[in-house]
Structure 1
Amino acid sequence: MFFSCKPAEMANLMEDEVFMAFTTYAAIVILKMMLMAPLTAYYRITRGSYANEEDVSRKSAEEKKKLLKAHPDVERARRCHQNDLENVIPFMLIGLLYALTGPELSAALLHFRLFAGCRIFHTISYITVLPQPSRGLSWILGMLVTFSMAYRVLSTVLLL
């Protein structure tokens, strides 16, 4: 049942509340992750901080020297986006497998909501520079949620 879904079973999967909850929260964290690129671009433009020579190719040599520099706001947004990639992708893969194990809806919603909330709070704490341990705690809780789902997957389908 775990990986061999027939078309009729796929239709049932699309009606499964846990699977629908997963797709909802997966879409939320993916959209949040995708919005980090335009935010980084916004910071690059408004802070005059570019990383690549081609970004300032039409500028004079003096202007290029001023613009080809790092800025803390740009670096925070860029690192936040990198952190999203390192956390959202594992959540997506583990979360999908978790949803397929047939967990209780309430447990699944708790996992999905906690993870999405942690990622949103992590971004807010990163971008607005909230003091630690706010960002660290949100990262740890998000990782624990993913590990909890992974434990459920392994304990449900472990075939060694």
Structure 2
Amino acid sequence: MQVDLEGIAKDTRGYVGADLATLCTEAALQAGISVVEVPNVTWDDIGGLDNVKRELQETVQYLVEHPEKFEKFGMSPFEGVLFYGPPGCGKTLLATAIANECQVNFISVKGPELLTMRFGESEANVCEIFDKASSICALCSLF
């Protein structure tokens, strides 16, 4: 992806951080990436599940907020978090809350939306989700 940073800098002279954030969001929407958001769900919106919330804070939030502490003690960061359980048990709610607490983008993907009966199409749908996610990461890293 080629980006003219000098051109962008000239075109955005006088912009503040909020203006640049809006520009990134608008660029993502123009690129057809409308499934990305920083959610507004907080820990207070989740009743109970205190052990799960604490575990997510320790494994995800602390790593995002204090990566130097993990490096100092020689701890390797986690590779990911897998939520599992029956429908309606709070998996998506927990994921959106931790994304909000870390102020990161969140893409909600529902399994049935990815699956098709045609050979290779499900894999293509998964690849499309990852392409959208990496497009957002590349776009936001410019600013």
> Taking structure 1 as the reference length, what is the TM-score of the superposition?
0.28
Q: Determine which structure has the larger helix proportion and give its number.
A: 1
Structure of larger gyration radius? 1
Q: Which has the higher contact order (CA 8 A, sep 6+)?
A: 2
